[in-house]
Structure 1
Amino acid sequence: MRNFDLRVVLVRSLYERNVGSVSRAMANMGVSKLILIDPKCEFTIESNKAAASGQAALQNRVTYPSWDEFYKTEPRGLQIATTARDGRGRLVEDLPVTLNRLKESHPALQKESDEPFIIHLLFGPEDWGLSGEDIQYANHCCTIPTYGDNSSLNLAQAVLLALYTFRNIFGGERTRLDGQQKPREQQKKPLIFPDETLKQWLLEMNMDLSKRRINVFTVLRRMLLQNAPSEKEFRMLEIVLQQSLRRMREGKENAQASKALSATDTADNSTTNKNGDL
């Protein structure tokens, strides 16, 4: 599929902190081109604080005073407007539905080209969203799915969810944490049941394990594995069995030592009695 150039367009934004938070959300999702149309706020240290470690989009933002200037300068590409309202003139569908259809069938995305295909994601002002005039030239009008009674999203939340949805469908290079450099199946050690320790523990208790198919070992093993224990639970079982084995062996050694000491005392007493008789 053809590469794309994704751009976030904020229309008449009211609060600088929201724009800063949008810049941070864009950095999370690997998008860097931020366009402002007729912003209603000034940008001070507050927007920088909100952007935190995602300053790039905010610092490199492009601002247009009107839609006319936007269309004069920006390449047409594809425009997707976001809204939490439907009604007359707004044929609204879920954003994932639109993106999946575009991925599968849009001619410009299917053809091979060295030039990335430009996609603008449009977001309206915080008080009332995009107007009919704002979306009149948009190719698609979409809503970001919500599940509660309140369908209105904070501006930065809307941008983050929209970009996450876009990445889920169109892909991109995932951020990898240090612990994620290898596939998870290669990181995890295989779960090993402590067979030998359990056998030693049962033998130490004088259990008969001579029967091959069904004995106390096979029954206990099957009972424990039926609960699908985790690696941590396997380790805990191993520790308990080893500790129990040590205690039993120490008890046997102490009993043997006591028996030997008792035998020595008996022999000494016998010798003393014999000497006394003499």
Structure 2
Amino acid sequence: MKRPFEVRIVLVRTIYERNIGATSRAMSNMGVDKLILIDPQCEITYEAQQTAATGQTGLQNRTTYKSWDDFLEKEPESIKICFTARDGKGRQVRDIDEVLADIKDHAPQFQHSSETPYLLHLVFGPEDWGLSGEDLEHANFCACLPTWGENWSLNLAQATLLGMFSLRRAWGGSRTTLDGGDERRAPQGIEGINPEQTLKTWLEEMGFDLTKQKKINAFTVLRRMLLQNTPTKKELVILETVLQQATRKLREWKEFQKRDINKS
């Protein structure tokens, strides 16, 4: 992105407080802090706090507006993406990935570099019928979350999580470091520990001339047998350790033979 962005989640006329709490938790997973409620149809009690669990920030720092007019008067200028599962006349609903690509490539707010974040509101409707036609009049874009099963209806908190995930996947952000993470560790797979080179070195020490053999040779056969099944990182480490030790032992034996010949 040419400029940073700020995301705020907007829940319109939410019926169940547990969904507000679960949304707060999803926000904490996706690095979003600001939760906005428009005309909520429930009270926020201990149930919402329980559902939020370790993601209390959005819930505790929420802003509540009594109406869209109140929201539009007090919230900064933004691009508003309204999520709906119903298509129809005038709605022009597109998949969220397409909407995000359109904004990134064509929205004037993101066509020049700036250090000032631009605001996006991701707007979700109530659990019964979703956003109304009047709600969608405030949208810059109408988006849907793709589903593959017969049931296209998503739980509100699931929908907010998928919406934020789609945005992060498309536009990026600072990924969470896993517990116990260490950047110095080798990456998963062949690239990090390079058992292929170790295998070649071992075969050469065994006396195989890999430069003079055909495509199907000792190296290609063993490589296919040992590595074709996508081994885990631990398995690759063990394989490389075995080959390295075997290579060292071969070199020690060759060195011993040389010394023995020189003595005689």
TM-score range, shorter chain: 0.7 to 0.9
Structure with the greater alpha carbon radius of gyration = 1
Shift of 1:180: 5.2
Alignment counterpart, residue 193 of structure 1, candidates 178, 196, 199: 199
Shift of 1:112: 3.6
Partner residue of 2:259?
none
Q: Does 1:223 align with 2:234?
A: no
Cα distance in 1 for residues equivalent to 2:77 and 2:16: 27
Maintained 8 Å contact 1:194/1:234: no
Cα distance in 2 for residues equivalent to 1:59 and 1:96: 30
| Unaligned stretches of 5+ residues in structure 2 | 247-264
Cα distance in 2 for residues equivalent to 1:57 and 1:137: 23
Q: Does 1:235 align with 2:238?
A: yes
Shift of 1:115: 3.2
Partner residue of 2:102?
101
For residues 27-64 of structure 1, the C-alpha deviation after alignment (integer angstroms, 9 at most, x for no partner) is 11101010000111111121111111110000000001
1:126 to 1:236, Cα distance in 2 relative to 1, 3 A: same
For residues 88-114 of structure 1, the C-alpha deviation after alignment (integer angstroms, 9 at most, x for no partner) is 221101111011111112111223444
TM normalised by structure 1 equals: 0.73
| Unaligned stretches of 5+ residues in structure 1 | 201-208, 243-278
SS in 1 for 2:181: helix
Maintained 8 Å contact 1:84/1:151: yes
Seq. identity, %: 44
Aligned CA-pair RMSD:
3.0
Shift of 1:118: 1.4
Cα distance in 2 for residues equivalent to 1:46 and 1:167: 29
Higher share in helix: 1
Q: What does residue range 55-70 of structure 1 map to in structure 2 within 5 Å?
A: 55-70=56-71
Partner residue of 1:205?
none
Which has the higher mean CA deviation after the structures are superposed, 129-138 or 184-193?
184-193
Q: What does residue range 173-212 of structure 1 map to in structure 2 within 5 Å?
A: 173-177=174-178, 178-179=180-181, 181-182=183-184, 184-185=186-187, 188-191=192-195, 192-193=198-199
Maintained 8 Å contact 1:193/1:234: no
Partner residue of 1:25?
26
Partner residue of 2:140?
139
